[in-house]
């Protein structure tokens, strides 16, 4: 038996429940309706040809025949899909005309912060909380489907950073009947069943005690790709550091490591060599036609003495952001955008951007003699590149785009890493600049500028100045700044941005937790809602709804620890 219902005005999706010999399985299909009248319709399927993304006919027994198109609008990792664009491509209900009709549909209580962008697939929202649990929640009602305590599930010890339980801070990755999740220390990746949260496999990526997974991964075919990060840079100078960043490919069926490519030369576990260049933000982007996967790296933690001596000699020289550091070799891939071969992990090309950058937390102490010589502009890439195709010199050109904590946005040729354009989008700081994830709809590139140091930030096109953070739109073809919107709450803007058709979503770290929807064309604020606690994570959009968590108290004893939160929110068009 098949039963259905749909709301043509607000949802454009269809539920069907199939009853057989086993338990009923309930699945929503996303529908693009070919009429615009705001009807609430109850219908029966006349036929169902197959299961999945298809075109079907629905006969409405109320004077009307309607053809509907089933399309999947899912948000399956931090970047939304394998292109890492944070763009809800098939979300037709949310647009500049309708966004003011967003209303709170439900909120789900966890009792601790939620800073990961929620994943949404097949009518279920998946997300971790800083309470140590992983959740699956009904996307339309907020009802709990299952929850798993990660410590009990895996037997792993507590993270020991900000919380003493095993946690994940990254968006779970949805693939077939699996969720793949990175653990925030130790550097472990697990796979669980989507239907129950049952553990299927567990793989240790890096055995170092302070190694961890902060990034969400990306799946293509049966490969799971994810970057590895670390908190070794929090150690005292005498103990820092041996960690090396890497990108890893796992078999989704077994968790077996298929390849692991490091970002700096081998230090053989000894202090005094190269360390750092973590891959710590966003989710890598995959170009299937080229067979490339793109990721980006952070700063060095340490370098050999000859490198620091070289830099000391150049200390008073100004380095252009387009000029690679002259004191390190080409195989030292810090602050870099890198193209890897998907099958082998071989580095196809690497472009180091922003100059010399060696940093560990001891450098936050003024005049610390243990800190390497400067200047040390924080030019981490705290996000992976996005895939898009632009028009350059009257020709179409495939590029990757990413924004650094220094505030620079970069577009590079996908084939060879050549710089196509770059632009200073706003002031940089240790908190960013751009951080955790830009977005693009193909016409414009949207980024946050955290402005954690509250530097003067000139807005476009008004030419006014703010010391708050904000959001910037750049022309995807040229990098020209089209608009800048200052954070209305007069605070920094730390979380990633997301875009639907014509609407950009972003949150503020202010204590009342404002969430904003901006016109993608002009930057004007069209809608806002105060969630009651800092928003540090990002928005996912699906089925005419947006989903976001709040709360962020992970300061690592050094950075800001903002207001704690308790809820995941769902706002839907009504």
- Note the residue count of the chain: 574
Question: What pLDDT is stored for residue 136 in this prediction?
Answer: 99
How many other C-beta atoms are found inside a 10 Å radius of the C-beta of residue 142?
A: 17
Of the candidates 420, 422, 425, the one whose C-alpha atom is nearest the C-alpha of residue 435 is 425
Please check whether residues 132 and 23 belong to one and the same domain. Answer: no
3-state secondary structure 475-538: ECCCCCEEEEEECCCCCCCCCCCEECCCEEEEECCCCCCEEEEEECCCCCEEEEEECCCCCCCC
Residue 132 lies in a domain: yes
Secondary structure (DSSP) of 113-168: ---SPPEEETTEEEEE-TTSEEEEEETTT--EEEEEEHHHHH-PPP--BSBSS---
CATH number for the domain that contains residue 358: 2.140.10.10
Q: Are residues 46 and 194 in the same domain?
A: no
In this structure, the answer to whether residues 50 and 106 fall within a common structural domain is no
SS3 234: helix
Instruction: Judge if 155 and 51 occupy the same domain.
Output: no
31 and 150 part of one domain: no
Q: How many CB atoms lie within 10 A of CB 520?
A: 23
Structure tokens at 495: 């979380």
**What's the rounded Cα separation, in Å, for the pair 245 and 513?**
33
Contacts of 522 (CB under 8 A, 6+ apart): 483
Q: Per the domain annotation, does 389 fall within a domain?
A: yes
Alpha-carbon distance of 361 to 339, in angstroms, equals 29
Tokens of 159: 């993270």
* Structural domain for 174, as ranges: 99-573
State how far the Cα of 128 lies from the Cα of 159, in Å rounded to an integer.
14
Residue with the two structure tokens 């709450």: 489
DSSP 8-state code for residue 262: E
Cis peptide before 461 (omega within 30 of 0): yes
Burial 442-460, CB ≥16 within 10 A → b, else e: bebbbbbbbbbeeeebebb
Asked whether residue 64 falls in the same domain as residue 122, the answer is no
**252 closest CA partner among 279, 282, 221, 228:** 221
- In this structure, are 386 and 242 located in the same domain? yes
Are 104 and 66 found together in one domain?
no
Asked if 483 contacts 522 with a C-beta cutoff of 8 angstroms, the reply is yes
Transcribe 298-328 into DSSP letters: --EEE--HHHHHHHHHTTTSPPPTTSPPSSS
d(CA 538, CA 505): 8
**91 within domain boundaries:** no
Q: What angle do CA 387, 347, 441 make, to 5 degrees?
A: 5
Residues of the chain with pLDDT under 70: 1-72, 162, 315-319, 374-375, 555-561
Give the number of other Cβ atoms within 10 Å of residue 168's Cβ.
Answer: 27
Same domain, 359 and 217: yes
What per-residue confidence (pLDDT) applies to 43? 35
- The pLDDT value given to residue 14: 45
Three-class secondary structure of residue 548 per DSSP: strand
Q: Give the max Cα distance, the chain.
A: 82
Nearest to 568 by CA among 527, 535, 542: 535
CA 315, 318, 322, 326 torsion-angle sign: negative
- Decide which of 70, 87, 107 is a domain's last residue: 70
CA distance 154 to 147: 14
Q: What six digits make up the tokens of 365? A: 């102490």
Please state the separation of Cα 151 from the chain's center in Å: 24
94 lies in a domain? no
> Does residue 92 lie in a domain region?
no
CA separation for the pair 17, 492 (Å, rounded): 45
Q: In the prediction, which pLDDT does 557 show? A: 54
Co-location of 291 and 211 in the same domain: yes
Q: By C-alpha distance, which of 73, 64, 70 is closest to 42? A: 64
- Asked, for residue 383, whether it belongs to a domain, the answer is yes
Q: Are 231 and 556 in contact (CB under 8 A)?
A: yes
Query: What domain count does the chain have?
Result: 2
Residue 126 shares a structural domain with residue 7: no
Residues 127 and 43 in one domain: no
Q: Is 76 inside a domain boundary?
A: no
Give the pLDDT of residue 209: 87
pLDDT at 2: 32
Domain annotation covers residue 84: no
Alpha carbon distance 492, 511 (integer Å) = 11
- How far apart CA 61 and CA 46 sit, in angstroms, is 10
* pLDDT given at position 555: 61
């Amino acid at each position: 038996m098949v039963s259905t219902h749909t709301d043509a005005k607000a949802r454009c999706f269809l539920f069907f429940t199939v009853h057989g010999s086993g338990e009923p399985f309930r699945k929503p299909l996303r529908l693009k309706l070919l009429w615009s009248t705001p009807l609430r319709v109850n219908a029966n399927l006349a036929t169902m040809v197959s299961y999945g993304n298809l075109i079907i006919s629905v006969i409405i027994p109320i004077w009307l025949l309607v053809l509907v198109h089933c399309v999947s609008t899912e948000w399956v990792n931090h970047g939304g899909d394998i292109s890492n664009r944070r763009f809800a491509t098939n979300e037709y209900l949310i647009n500049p005309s309708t966004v003011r009709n967003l209303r709170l549909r439900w909120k789900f209580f966890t009792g601790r912060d939620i800073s990961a962008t929620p994943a949404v697939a097949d009518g279920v929202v998946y997300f971790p909380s800083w309470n140590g649990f992983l959740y699956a929640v009904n996307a339309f009602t907020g009802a709990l489907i299952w929850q798993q305590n990660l410590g009990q599930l895996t037997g792993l010890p507590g993270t020991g950073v900000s919380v003493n339980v095993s946690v994940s801070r990254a968006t779970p990755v949805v693939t077939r009947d699996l969720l793949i999740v990175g653990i925030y220390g130790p550097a472990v990746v697990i796979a669980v069943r989507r239907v129950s949260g049952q553990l299927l496999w567990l793989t240790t990526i890096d055995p170092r005690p302070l190694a961890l997974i902060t990034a969400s991964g990306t799946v293509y075919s049966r490969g799971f790709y994810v970057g590895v990060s670390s908190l070794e840079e929090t150690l005292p100078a005498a103990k820092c550091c041996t960690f090396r960043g890497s990108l890893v490919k796992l078999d989704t069926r077994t968790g077996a490591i298929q390849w692991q490519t490091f970002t700096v030369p081998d230090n053989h576990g000894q202090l005094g060599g190269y360390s750092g260049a973590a891959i710590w933000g966003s989710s890598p982007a995959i170009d299937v036609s080229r067979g490339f996967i793109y990721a980006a790296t952070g700063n060095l933690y340490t370098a050999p003495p000859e490198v620091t001596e070289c830099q000391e000699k150049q200390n008073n020289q100004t380095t252009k952001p387009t000029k690679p550091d002259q004191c390190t070799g080409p195989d030292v891939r810090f602050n870099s955008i890198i193209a890897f071969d998907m099958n082998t992990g071989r580095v196809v090309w690497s472009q180091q951007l922003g100059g010399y950058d060696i940093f560990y937390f001891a450098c936050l102490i003024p005049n610390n003699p243990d800190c390497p010589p400067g200047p040390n502009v924080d030019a981490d890439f705290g996000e992976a590149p996005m895939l898009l195709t632009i028009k350059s010199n009257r020709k179409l050109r495939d590029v990757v785009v990413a924004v650094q904590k220094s505030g620079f946005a970069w577009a590079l040729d996908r084939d060879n890493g050549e710089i196509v354009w770059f632009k200073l989008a706003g002031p940089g700081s240790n908190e960013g600049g751009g951080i955790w994830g830009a977005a693009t709809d193909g016409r414009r590139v949207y980024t946050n500028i955290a402005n954690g140091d509250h530097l003067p930030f000139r807005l476009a096109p008004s030419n006014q100045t703010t010391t708050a953070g904000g959001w910037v739109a750049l022309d995807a073809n040229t990098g020209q700044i089209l608009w800048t919107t200052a954070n209305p709450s007069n605070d920094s803007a730390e979380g990633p941005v997301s875009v639907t058709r014509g609407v950009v979503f972003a949150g503020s770290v202010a204590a009342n937790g404002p969430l904003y929807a901006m016109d993608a064309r002009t930057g004007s604020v069209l809608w806002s809602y105060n969630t009651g606690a800092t928003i540090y994570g990002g928005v996912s959009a699906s089925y005419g709804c947006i989903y976001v968590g709040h709360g962020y108290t992970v300061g690592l004893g050094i950075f800001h620890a903002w207001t704690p939160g308790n809820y995941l929110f769902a706002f839907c068009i009504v």
